[in-house]
Amino acid sequence: MELPSKINNNEKSLQQGISPSGNGGLISNSKLTALVVDSDRICQILEKAILESQGVETQVVGSGRDALDLLASGATFNLIIIAMVLPIMNGVETTRQIRAMGIRSKMLGVTACSYEREKQAFLDAGVDEFIEKPLTPQKLASIMREMRNA
């Protein structure tokens, strides 16, 4: 099945490891930018679609390692949306390492689980907020408003 451009562009970006804007990994600062770190394709597509529908330039990676490599290369983002369950290095550990790099972007932890213990672990690792999947346009709009007003 041929996927439409909204899904195909996401797939191409994932394969090439570049920003959808095609600027080689460095996201322009002229609009809000976001990085989605999630290994689930459905969640990647949905989160990217929601972000882009609100005018946010978005890049997607499928693992904690890819996120760290991208950030280490100098890419900067206003917002990082990170899933708890990731291959090899989970979202909590990835968050810790991102914060250890000195990155102060707003971080939103997302998970399909609502156990208090897991939520607290994510917050302790350094996410600013934690939400239960799925991400909704309303929730994102509220975060975007805070960021634009900051």
Partner 1 sequence: MERTQQHRQVAHMRQSLFDQGLLDEQFVQLEELQDDANPNFVEEVVTLFYRDSARLVLNIDQALDKSPLDFSKLDSYMHQFKGSASSIGAKKVKSECTLFREYCKAGNGEGCMKTFQQLKKDYAVLRKKLETYFQMARQVGPVETACRRK
DSSP three-state, residue 83: strand
Question: Under a CB-based contact definition with an 8 Å cutoff, are residues 33 and 10 in contact?
Answer: no
Instruction: Choose between 41 and 65: whose C-beta lies nearer to partner 1.
Output: 41
Tell me how far, at minimum, the Cβ of 100 lies from partner 1, in Å.
Answer: 25
CA 27 to CA 75: how far, in whole Å?
6
- The site for partner 1 (CB under 8 A) is made up of 1, 3-7, 39-43, 45-46, 49-50, 53, 83, 85, 111-113, 133-134, 136-137
- AA letter at 69: D
DSSP state of 76: -
Please give the C-alpha separations between residue 12 and each of 5, 32, 91, 95, 108, in angstroms, as whole numbers.
Answer: 10, 22, 23, 25, 25
Instruction: Choose between 99 and 139: whose C-beta lies nearer to partner 1.
Output: 139
Instruction: Choose between 68 and 86: whose C-beta lies nearer to partner 1.
Output: 86
Tell me how far, at minimum, the Cβ of 115 lies from partner 1, in Å.
Answer: 9
DSSP state of 61: E
Helix then strand count (H, E) for the chain reads: 6, 5
Instruction: Choose between 72 and 112: whose C-beta lies nearer to partner 1.
Output: 112
Report the DSSP beta bridge partners of residue 82. 37, 109
Instruction: Choose between 97 and 111: whose C-beta lies nearer to partner 1.
Output: 111
